[in-house]
Structure formats: structure tokens, C-alpha cells
Chain A
Amino acid sequence: MSGDLRIRGFERKHPVHLLVNGKPVTAYEGETLHAALIAAGILSLKTSRVTQEPRGVFCGMGVCHECLVTINGVTGIRACMTLVQDGMKVETHEP
């Protein structure tokens, strides 16, 4: 099992609380959602269109659209282009 993936010495601001698939996840202001999800051990983010296989963060720069999640009810948002926000509700694997 992996330990804490947050790099030591990296200054962080306030903690923020997310709900990912109904479960609480703590992240820090300024973090990108895809990184915060990986730090929480959530690698599988969407289901591929045809073969229905799990997909996760790949390009990390807004190109590949493999990290699409639902945020506060809005589907198809790139986690890698989104900053975490307190109270954010995230759902993975939604059509």
C-alpha cells in the first residue's frame, strides 16, 4: 500500500473537503482535482465509451479527455483542468 503521496516540504494552504462518490476526501487548496484523486487512491475515473473499460489520468494537460468526471452534477469535466474546491461533489464512471 502506498503511503502519503503529498510531497514533504511542499507548502500547502487550507484543507478542502470533497465528496467523491459519496465518500469524504481531503485535499488542499491549489491542488488540481486529478492529483488530489490520485493522492486519495482513486485511479479509475471514467468508463470507456465502447469497451466499457476503466480509464484514468493520462495526459494530465487537458488533451486526452480520459479523466472526465462529474462535478456538482455537471458531467464530462476534465479533472486535470479543475482546481479542488471545498464542498465539491465528484462522481466517477458516469455516462
Chain B
Amino acid sequence: MSLKTAAYQVIIIGAGLAGLSAAEMLSGLGAKVLLLDEGMQPGGQYLKRPLPLLRRLATIHDNDKMHKKGMELLDSLNGLELEIQACTQVLGLEPDSQGGGMVWGETKDGKLSAWRAPHIILAAGARERFIPFKGWTLPGVISTGAVQLMLKGSGILPADKVMVAGCGPLPLAVAGELVKAGARVPHVWDPTGFLQKLGTLRKGAIAWEKAAQAIKYQALVMLKGGRLRHRVAILEARGSGQLEEVVTVRINRSGKPKGGSERVIPARCLAVGHGFVPNIELAQQAGCELEYDADRGGWVVRVDAGLNTSLPGIYAAGEITGIAGAKISQNQGCRAAYAIVKKLELGKVLRASAYLDTLTMLRKDEEHLAVLINRLSIPPAGLWDLVPDDTIICRCEDITFGQVRPLLNSGVYDLSELKRSTRAGMGPCQGRTCGPILEALAQAASRGKEPPPPLPPRAPVKPFRLSALLDLETTGDKK
């Protein structure tokens, strides 16, 4: 007995910029393509917009060149014979030795489905990275990404007054967007140093372009009376039932706190984020090889120049090959699609090639910039020493650092073993939040050059309802 599968030429998982770009090219050239996405509508996090799409609001919906291009891309899908399944949670990928394989998941109607194709593009994007602090589980402490998506998707502020903390490009951008949307942002705290940021300007025009954006956001925050401070970390979030106050501390270059510099600030809402983590779980479950590169956001899916993973007919594009932003995601989506166009001999390879020429060329400096931004997203290592034993590491299972620390001290750095011993990573998020935290803690404890390999995910890679199993359409012998 096996799941009844629908056959396609290409299955694309993830409808962000990478997946959309690939879908547009392949479908435009006549391939039978299925595009699967977890979100309520295609576009991923980058192109988040209200549903149903009403008028875009200039103050909260970006209108720069890349966003315009993304919106055009979405528009162009309407004219294609492309099958898009939104609200679909992909749960597993069984590779086929001939290439590609079978993808299965829970669809919008809560049923399990399976699809098969000789070519599969994985474009699952990224999530946020967090450094835990005492009280980070209190309602009112929210991720910077969550704030941005609420603004763009629902037009709702998380609070009328929001503190923002963290590093990488998102916190300052979110602070600026909050101010534009009418919120007050009294404080933005960044654990990294200002000089570190200035150093990136040596990398040329593209870095200046990004710096100009950052300065614009900073100016917005400051014009409304907000302050941006570097080398400040969150020590604790306090409150009874929900956030009431935040304790900050000044830190030095390596993350060591300066005694007596603690400040207690009343707050109902604190947005936090420390860069991004690639969503490699599905690729990992399928058996794609990974590699570690801190400059690309940590553990990423290994691809060759043609974006092939280590498995035949399975490609990876966008943030799962390394955190590098919208432009590179779009570019990789197109390049993965082009590799398939050639293999499928769609008879229009020349047209595809001409099309490829019109793409934004992958600029070397764009890659340099991605490296710099990833470096700015890594908070000083000493911040990990600030995490007290009673801080929750695994939010799903309420596992504290104190429960993990003895194991780390006795030389257990293997994440699977840490998981088995403590239950950290066993909850419904399946280690997506605590996994990167455990990696960093284990790396710090082992003083290793790189962290231990990530937790090995198994199918189903996300939770689903058992009721979905009840009305399966199957083929073959029913035993």
C-alpha cells in the first residue's frame, strides 16, 4: 500500500522569491510545475502583504526595486498554467535514485497528499535566530520578524510602544517601519558595536547603499525621540503573566557585561532577533549533504554551481544555501530553473538562455555584502555567558540552560544526545527554535571551530493532525 501520488515534471517547495522565480521560468516554458507553500498566499516573508490584497500602504509596504520586481513576478504568475497549493505543509521528501522523488504533506483541507517529480527545487527560506535571556518566553516578547509580518500582513501594531533589540539588518529596519506605522520606539538596543558596522563601508558602493537605508531607519527612530544604542544586551524580561519591564546591560566588545550598567525600563512589548537561520530541515531529512559556513548563516544545504544538492534531481535555491537576501534568492531560483530547463530539453532552451541574460547578474559584491551582514548578525560570543541557568532554552518542553549545562560540561556536544537526555528539541517546533541555540552553546562549550551538526529531522518534519491519516487515498494492496 502506498500513497496515491500526482505526477509533475517539477515540484517547487517554497513560494518566496527563489521558488517564485523558478516557477515562473519553468511554467512559462511549458513545464508541468507544482508550487507548494506553507503561507496563505505566495510571496514568502519578503513579499508579505494583506490578504485579500487591498491597496498597498506606502508607509509599510516597501516599494524599492526588488519589491517591485517581486510584485511583478507575482502578477506574472496569473497568466501561467502553474498549480499553486498554498496553506500546504510539506512533511517529507523521499528521494528517488533516478532523480527527484516523492513529496508528501498536509494540504489546506487538512488531508495528506503526495506528489512525485523527477526534479524538485527546495526553497524553504529562513527563520530568525535568537539568543535566549531570562523571561524571553513572556507574552509581549515577540520576534522582530513577527512584528514586520503583522505590520505588512494585517496592518496591526504589536503595541503602541515597542522596544527593539538584536543585531543584523532586521531590528533597525523593523524599528523604522514601526515608527512609520505610527508606533513609538523609545529604544533600539544592538549588542554589536558601531565601529564594526562602519567597517563594512570599506566593501564599496553596495555597502554604502545598505548603510544609507540603515541611516534612514535610524533617523526615523530618532526623529520620534527614540534612541539607538550599540553594545547593549538584554539581561532579563520581567513581568507577571506578561512583559512589564526589560533589564538591559552595557557590554564590551566580547560581550562581557559592565558591572553597574544595568537599567530597568518599563515595557509592554519587546521585539528581538539575532539574524537568520536557513530552513534546512526538509533537505536534511531527504538526505542532502550540508555544510557549515558562519558567513552564510551556519549550516546550509551544499549545492554545486548549478544548484544541485548531493541528491540527483534535487536542487536548492535561496536562503537554504546561505543567508544572502532577496536578490541572490531570485537569482538562484532562476539558475536552478535553468538547470532543469536544460535537462528537460523543453525545446526552448535558447529562449530560456536569453531570459537568463536579462536577470540581475549575480554581483560578486552582493555576495560580499551578504557575508558582511551575516557577520554583523553574530552577536559577541560573551552574550552566551550571560544566560543564567534558569533561562528556558527549549520553549516547547520548558527545558532550561541549567538542565543542559551539566551535559555540556561533561563533554556531550552531540545535539541528538542532548535531545535524548533532556528532551530539548522534542516539542512541536521540532528544535527549530532551540536547535541553533544548542548548537551555539555546544560550540562554545567545546571551543570548536564549528558547532556540532544540527538535529537530524525525520519525516514528518512538522506536526500534522492524525485525522489527516483517516481518509487517505491509497493505491495497491490494502492489508
Chain A positions within 8 Å of B, measured between CB atoms, are: 2-3, 5-13, 29-32, 34-36, 38-39, 43-45, 48-51, 53-66, 68, 76, 80-81, 83
Query: When chains A and B are docked, how far (Å) is the Cα of A56 from the Cα of B181?
Result: 22
A60 to chain B, nearest CB (A): 3
Given B128, B138, B156, which contacts A5 in the complex, CB threshold below 8 Å? B156
Task: Please judge, given known A-B contacts A7-B156, A48-B137, A55-B395, whether A61 and B149 are in contact too, CB under 8 Å.
Answer: yes
* Closest chain A residue, CB of each to CB of B61: A10
Interface of A is mostly: loop
Q: Is the CB of A7 within 8 A of B182?
A: yes
Task: Please judge, given known A-B contacts A50-B398, A56-B140, whether A44 and B55 are in contact too, CB under 8 Å.
Answer: no
Chain A residues closer than 8 Å to B437, beta-carbon distance: none
Query: When chains A and B are docked, how far (Å) is the Cα of A68 from the Cα of B138?
Result: 15
Query: When chains A and B are docked, how far (Å) is the Cα of A49 from the Cα of B427?
Result: 9
Chain A residues closer than 8 Å to B161, beta-carbon distance: 2
Additional pairs, 20, CB under 8 Å, beyond known A49-B398, A60-B150, A61-B149: A2-B160, A3-B160, A5-B158, A12-B155, A29-B52, A30-B50, A48-B395, A53-B398, A54-B241, A56-B138, A59-B146, A59-B433, A60-B142, A60-B143, A63-B432, A64-B432, A65-B463, A66-B137, A76-B428, A81-B38
Chain B residues closer than 8 Å to A55, beta-carbon distance: 137, 139, 395
Q: Is the CB of B153 within 8 A of A58?
A: no
Query: When chains A and B are docked, how far (Å) is the Cα of A45 from the Cα of B242?
Result: 11
Chain B residues closer than 8 Å to A61, beta-carbon distance: 45, 127, 145-146, 149
0/1 interface trace, chain B 35-76, chain A, CB 8 Å (1 if under): 000101000010000111011010110000000000000000
Given A39, A44, A63, which contacts B139 in the complex, CB threshold below 8 Å? A44
Query: When chains A and B are docked, how far (Å) is the Cα of A85 from the Cα of B47?
Result: 23
The count of A-to-B residue pairs whose CB atoms sit within 8 angstroms is 147
Chain B positions within 8 Å of A, measured between CB atoms, are: 38, 40, 45, 50-52, 54-55, 57, 59-60, 87, 127-128, 137-143, 145-147, 149-151, 153-161, 181-182, 241-242, 268, 392, 395-398, 427-429, 432-433, 463
Q: Is the CB of A35 within 8 A of B242?
A: no
Q: Count chain B CB atoms within 10 A of each CB in A34, A61, A62 and give the residue with the most.
A: A61
Chain A residues closer than 8 Å to B57, beta-carbon distance: 7, 9-11
Chain A residues closer than 8 Å to B429, beta-carbon distance: 63-65
Chain B residues closer than 8 Å to A34, beta-carbon distance: 150
Q: Is the CB of A7 within 8 A of B432?
A: no
Q: Is the CB of A81 within 8 A of B139?
A: no
Q: Count chain B CB atoms within 10 A of each CB in A29, A56, A64, A66 and give the residue with the most.
A: A64
What would be 28 A-B contacts, judged by CB atoms less than 8 Å apart? Answer: A2-B160, A5-B159, A7-B60, A12-B155, A30-B50, A30-B154, A32-B153, A35-B153, A38-B156, A43-B139, A43-B140, A44-B139, A49-B398, A49-B427, A55-B137, A55-B395, A56-B138, A59-B127, A59-B143, A59-B433, A60-B145, A63-B127, A65-B428, A65-B429, A66-B137, A68-B428, A76-B428, A83-B40
Q: Is the CB of B157 within 8 A of A5?
A: yes
Query: When chains A and B are docked, how far (Å) is the Cα of A49 from the Cα of B396?
Result: 7
Chain B residues closer than 8 Å to A81, beta-carbon distance: 38, 40, 87
Task: Please judge, given known A-B contacts A12-B54, A43-B140, whether A59 and B128 are in contact too, CB under 8 Å.
Answer: yes
Query: When chains A and B are docked, how far (Å) is the Cα of A83 from the Cα of B433?
Result: 24
Query: When chains A and B are docked, how far (Å) is the Cα of A76 from the Cα of B467?
Result: 13
Query: When chains A and B are docked, how far (Å) is the Cα of A30 from the Cα of B40?
Result: 10
Q: Is the CB of A66 within 8 A of B395?
A: yes
* Closest chain B residue, CB of each to CB of A1: B160
Chain B residues closer than 8 Å to A57, beta-carbon distance: 139, 142, 146, 158
Chain B residues closer than 8 Å to A44, beta-carbon distance: 139, 241-242
A48 to chain B, nearest CB (A): 5
Q: Is the CB of A30 within 8 A of B395?
A: no
Q: Is the CB of A39 within 8 A of B242?
A: no
Task: Please judge, given known A-B contacts A10-B57, A30-B51, whether A65 and B396 are in contact too, CB under 8 Å.
Answer: yes
Q: Is the CB of A38 within 8 A of B395?
A: no
The 9 closest A-B pairs by CB, nearest first: A60-B146, A56-B139, A10-B155, A35-B154, A50-B398, A43-B139, A11-B54, A65-B428, A35-B156
A21 to chain B, nearest CB (A): 15
* Closest chain B residue, CB of each to CB of A37: B156
* Closest chain A residue, CB of each to CB of B241: A54
Query: When chains A and B are docked, how far (Å) is the Cα of A81 from the Cα of B52?
Result: 15
